[in-house]
Amino acid sequence: MSSWRKRGRVFDPEKSVHWTRSHAALPFATPLEGDRYRVYCSGRDDDGRSSIGFVDVTFGSVAHVDEVASAPVVSPGKMGAFDDSGVTMSCLVRAEDRLFVYYTGWSLGITVPFYLAIGLAVSEDGGETFRRLHDAPIMGRSPPDPYLVASPSVLVESGRWRMWYVSATEWRMVDGSPRHYYNIRHAESDDGVEWHPDGRVCLDFEGPSEYAFGRPCVIRTEVGYEMWFCVRGSRYRLGYARSADGLSWERRGEPVGLAPSDEGWDAEMMAYPSVFQHDGRKLVLYNGNGYGRTGFGWAEEAVDSAGGAE
C-alpha cells in the first residue's frame, strides 16, 4: 500500500455563500485546465438543508480556492419527492458531451430518521448548470436493497457502466435510538440510467465495532481496481481495498498517513475520500470533523527518490 502526505485544508465553508453556510461534504474533483479543478461538494444553508455546488481550486505547491459558486447546481427536490429534504454529492461521470452527477437524495422518516435513494442530474454546458433527469430516483428501495441506497461511485468501461454504492442491511435500536447498518454493494447498467442491482456485497463489516460505510471511491489502475472509503465504529476513519474484477475485494487497512490529526479540523474523524490522478500523481480530497462541517482538505501520494510510490 502506498503512503500519503497531508497537505492541509483546502476550503473552510464557515460563513461562505448561502448554499454553504456550513459544511462542504463529499468533495469530488473534475479537471478544468492545467492545475485547476472544479470540486463539487455539498453545503448546508441556514435551514440545514444540503445542496450541491462547486468550488474551483488550483492544485499547485499549495491548494488555492479561485472561486466559490454563487448558487448551487442541484438543490433539494419538490415537496414529496425522494430528495425534498436535501441532496448530497457522490460522483461525476463524463458521458460524451454531457456530465452526469450522481447524488444521494434525502427524505425524512418517522420510525427511522431518514430515507435515502440515488438521483441523477445532467449538465450539457460543461458543469455550470444541471437538470434532474426526472423527479424519481434512478435507484431506490428494492428486493436486493430493501432499506436504502446511497453514495454511488460509477465507472464506465467499454460501454459497461458499473456502480459501487452504499446499501442498508437493517435498522437497529441502540441505546434508545435507531442506528443504520450499511455495507457496499455493486450494480451494472447499459446506459447509466437504468441500473440492475443483484445484492452482491463487495465490502462488509470486519467485526461488531463497525456498522456503516461512507461513500466509496473506485478507480482503475495498473494494479486493478482500487477503492477508498470510510467506515465507522465510534468515528469515521478511512479505508482502502483492492480487487482484480471489481467484485471480490480485499481490505488493506487504513491508508498510511491518512489517520486523524492530533488536533485541528480533521482530528475527530476523516471521511468521504475521493481520489484522482493529477500530473502523474494521486491526490485525495477528504472531509474532517463533523461530516464536512469543517470543510475539505487534501493529501498527495508520497513518492520515493526514484519517482515511485513509497
Q: What pLDDT score was predicted for residue 1?
A: 61
Q: What pLDDT score was predicted for residue 305?
A: 39
Q: What pLDDT score was predicted for residue 202?
A: 97
Question: Long-range contacts for 240-249 (Cβ within 8 Å, ≥24 apart)?
Answer: 240/1, 241/203, 243/202, 246/162, 246/164, 246/186, 246/202, 246/218, 247/186, 247/200, 247/202, 248/202, 249/202, 249/203, 249/225
- In whole angstroms, give the CA distance from residue 98 to residue 30: 13
Positions of the chain with pLDDT lower than 70, given as ranges: 1, 303-310
**Domains of the chain in sequence order:** 4-289 (2.115.10.20)
3-state secondary structure of 291: helix
For residues 234-260, b (16+ Cβ closer than 10 Å) or e, as one string? Answer: eebbbbbbbbeebeebeeeeebeebeb
Q: Which helix (H) or strand (E) holds 132?
A: strand 131-132
Q: What pLDDT score was predicted for residue 2?
A: 77
Over residues 31-57, the pLDDT tens digits come to 999 999 999 999 999 999 999 999 999
Cα three-residue angle 127-215-69, rounded to 5 degrees? 30
Cell 423527479 appears where? 135
Q: What are the backbone dihedrals phi and psi of residue 298, each rounded to the nearest 5 degrees, phi first?
A: -140, 160
Q: What pLDDT score was predicted for residue 16?
A: 76
For residues 42-71, b (16+ Cβ closer than 10 Å) or e, as one string? Answer: bbbbeeebbbbbbbebebeeebeeeebbee
Cα three-residue angle 12-17-18, rounded to 5 degrees? 120
Q: What pLDDT score was predicted for residue 48?
A: 93
> What single letter denotes the amino acid at residue 51?
S
> What single letter denotes the amino acid at residue 123?
S
